[in-house]
Structure formats: C-alpha cells, structure tokens
Structure 1
Amino acid sequence: MSTASFAPVRTAPAHGEKPLKFSGTDFKRWHRKMLFYLTTLSLSRFLTESRPVISEGDTDSQRRNAVDAWNHSDFLCRNYILNGLDDILYSVNCSVKTSKELWDSLDKKYKTEDAGVKKFVVGRFMDFKMVDTKSVISQVQEFQIIIHDLLAEGMKINEPFQVAAIIEKLPSMWKNFKNYLKHKRKELKLEDLIVRFQIEEDSRNSEAKTYKRTMEAEAKANLIESSTNHKRKRPLNENK
C-alpha cells in the first residue's frame, strides 16, 4: 500500500459560493454547484475515493497517520455535503459513512428523478400551442423558456430547429404569415425571426386600431343620420 495515496489533505480557502440547501428539486444544478464548492476546498477527490484499509498487523506509523488524515478530510467532505441538504434530507442521509457513498447515493436517487423532469419538459414542448387571444411575442417568449429548460436538461436543439418549431406553433390567424415564412429559401436566425414577429404584430395591432376607429366613426355617423331621418319623418301634429 503506497503512503502517497494517503497524504494528508491541506484544505484550501474556499473561493466558491456555498450552494443553497438542496430540498429535493433541481438536483442537477445543486450537484454542479456543490462539486465546484468542494473543488475549491480541495475535497472533491473524496467523492470518488473509497476508504483506505489498513490490516491489523500493519505497524507503519506514517501510513497510519496518513490514513487518519484521509479519514479526517473525508469527514469534512461528507459533512459539507450533508450541510448542503435541508434538515429532512440531512436526517435521512447522515448515517452514510463516507463522502463517496453519500455522493453516489444522492446521484443514484435524484438523477433518476431528473429523467422524469426531462420527460415532463419534453411534454410541455410538444403540447405547447399558441392562441389568437394572446400576443404572439409573449407566447414566443413562453416557448423560449421551455426550449431553455430542454437545453438545461442536456438535450441538444440547434437554432434552425428552434426557428422551425416556433413557426410551426403560430396560431391560426397567422396561417398566411406562417406559410410565407416556411417557404422562404433563406434560413432565418432566431433573432431575425423575433424581429419579423414584432413588426408583423405591430402592423396587425395598428390595423386593428384603425379598423376599430373606422367602425366607431361609421357607427356614430349612422346613429346621427338615423336620428336626423327620424326627426324629419315625425308627423306634423307632434309639434302642436
């Protein structure tokens, strides 16, 4: 057994921000932050190393001291992880003996749950539909959040696919504009697509306001004309 592998760990000053306590959700983010935090403490190797074993007949004091140092550093690492859990999860996991066992246990349990989250986000992506009663720009922003969640789950979605998906989700009143975009030969960038949507929506809103003012003016004119005609048709004896 090599004494080098059991060299005492000199814990470096922490330069990373301590992660917020993990409560059972968004494990992937907490996992990355905790790993970085332990790395700044020079403790991340204990996440993969198993506890060293010394036989009863081993009398090498230097080796025993190195193993004691390893146990001490592993104790620190394990408790940094435990203190990064909320009280309920702390109580459930505090009996785990080593950092590696604790890290592997959390990884096994919550990465499986993350797979369920991924399926949920995919379902949101597939089911998302734009409606005519809401601003297209605001709905595109909602859809972009879903795309961002997919990317955060490690799914690769390139920009042309994002552009095509957004165009395909346009509401029924945008059918002609959708067909116009789908038949454009030049590939659109996502940023350019958003600009086109903004211009088109502003134009539609302006036309809608103009149409509304025109209809209100016509209605007012018709009301005045109807009132004038009614007065002209009144019987003469009504003025007596």
Structure 2
Amino acid sequence: MSSRSLIHVPTAPATPAHGEKPPKLSGADFKRWQQKMLFYLTTLSLSRFLKEDSPVIAADDNDSQRRSAVDAWNHNDFLCRNYILNGLDDTLYSVYYSVKTAKDLWDSLEKKYKTEDAGVKKFVVGKFLDFKMVDNKSVINQVQEIQIINHDLLAEGMDINEPFQVAAIIEKLSPMWKDFKNYLKHKRKELKLEDLIVRLHIEEDS
C-alpha cells in the first residue's frame, strides 16, 4: 500500500457557493478552456484528481479504513473525470470517454492540444518573418497587418516588446521607402510605436 493511499479522502466534494461551468471544448482555444475547467474543478474540490494516480491496495488487504479511502478516491475521481468529459463536445467525448482516470484524461487532452499549440506558434512566427511590405498598398494598412500578427504572437505567449515592434516595422518597409527607412533607423531608439505610426502616416500623405 503506498503512503498516498493512507491520506484521508473526503467521501464527497464540497458544494461550491458558485462556479460557472465552462463551455464545451470543440478543439479551439484549448488553453482558455483548460483554465476555466481547472477553476471549475477547483470550486468542486476535485482539481487534486488531475494530478493524483489511482491508489493501489492489495487484493487480500482487509483493512476497512484503507478500502473506504480507496472507494472514496475512486468515487471522486469518477466525478472529476465525468465533469471533464461533459466539458467536451460530442465528437471529442466519443474519442476520450474510454480513458479510465481524470489524470489520464487531463494529460491526454493537454498532450494533444499543446502539440497543436506549438504548431500554431510556429505558423505565426513564420507569418511574421515572411511578411514584407509592398509598394502598391497603403503603408498604414500594412502596419496594421503587422500589428495583428504581433497580437497573435503575444496570444501565443511570446514576449514582443515595443522597441522590437518599432524596429520590425522599420525593417519591413518597402524599397520605395529606403531613404525614410534609413532616417527612422537613426531615430528608432527614441520612437514609440504610436510616434512611428504618426510619422509614417504623415510621410505617406506627403
């Protein structure tokens, strides 16, 4: 019998005063769904079962207290697992309903979607690196496109500070802006993003 099996397990989770049930996961926005589900399970006093392995008891162990503790653990793990399953849409439910414990289910979902998140991050970084301004489109509109990509990078947990954004926009100016680009390079340390956009706007209008 492992030491963790001797820890007292409540026979029923505490009833929360409040707690909003998260929307069903369809495959998008996994990180947001995961955070909401974690909070929801915490209000139900079930989040510990996302990390604990099932306690093991010998078949010939007749200690009633240990057996009661294991039964209670299994009951609460069953509840936790089904709260997670009911947070999945029907398609994902069909894929994951056979997973035996809450921990295995949580780990399986995290492994699948964190791998996909890494692919999304790689795609956004590639989109940023490949972006080049062209002469036949408004510079300001193209700056807005870069800002949208920057927002996506931030959403993926990448630290994109303001000086980097300023330097990146200057570097991506089209060849037609060569002279103004060289001028801005000497000024970039003192330029804020808003100041840069104003200067580009004025230059484009003139």
Interval containing the TM-score (normalised by the shorter chain) = 0.7 to 0.9
CA shift at 1:46, angstroms?
A: 0.7
Matched, 1:56 2:31: no
% identity of equivalent residues: 78
Matched, 1:164 2:167: yes
Q: Which residue of 2 aligns with 1:215?
A: none
Residues 19 and 84 of structure 1 are in contact (CA less than 8 Å); yes or no, is this contact kept in structure 2?
yes
Q: Secondary structure at the match of 1:183?
A: helix
Q: 1:10 aligns with which of 1, 10, 13?
A: 13
Q: Which residue of 2 aligns with 1:173?
A: 176
* One-letter amino acid matched to 1:36: F
Q: 1:145 aligns with which of 143, 148, 166?
A: 148
Q: Any idea what the Cα deviations from partners look like across 1:130-179, whole Å, max 9, x if unmatched?
A: 22333322322221121121222222223211110011112333332222
CA shift at 1:185, angstroms?
A: 6.5
Q: Which residue of 2 aligns with 1:89?
A: 92
CA shift at 1:186, angstroms?
A: 4.0
Q: 1:100 aligns with which of 59, 84, 103?
A: 103
* One-letter amino acid matched to 2:95: V
Q: Secondary structure at the match of 2:16?
A: coil
Residues 132 and 173 of structure 2 are in contact (CA less than 8 Å); yes or no, is this contact kept in structure 1?
yes
TM-score, length-scaled by structure 2 = 0.85
> How many residues end up aligned between the 2 structures?
203
CA shift at 1:82, angstroms?
A: 1.0
Residues 166 and 188 of structure 2 are in contact (CA less than 8 Å); yes or no, is this contact kept in structure 1?
no
- Residue 42 to residue 191, structure 1, CA distance change in 2 (3 Å): farther
Q: Any idea what the Cα deviations from partners look like across 1:16-61, whole Å, max 9, x if unmatched?
A: 5333222223323322232222223222111110111222233333
- Residue 37 to residue 173, structure 1, CA distance change in 2 (3 Å): farther
Residues 22 and 85 of structure 1 are in contact (CA less than 8 Å); yes or no, is this contact kept in structure 2?
yes
TM-score, length-scaled by structure 1 = 0.75
Q: Secondary structure at the match of 2:53?
A: coil
Higher relative contact order structure (alpha carbons within 8 Å, sequence separation ≥ 6): 2
Q: Which has the larger radius of gyration?
A: 1
* One-letter amino acid matched to 1:55: A
* One-letter amino acid matched to 2:203: E
Q: 2:35 aligns with which of 32, 38, 53?
A: 32
- Residue 77 to residue 134, structure 1, CA distance change in 2 (3 Å): same
* One-letter amino acid matched to 1:49: E
* One-letter amino acid matched to 2:120: V
CA–CA distance in structure 1, aligned partners of residues 171 and 93 of structure 2: 47
Matched, 1:111 2:121: no
CA RMSD in angstroms, aligned pairs only: 2.3
Unpaired runs of 5+ residues, structure 1, are 208-240
Q: Which residue of 2 aligns with 1:70?
A: 73
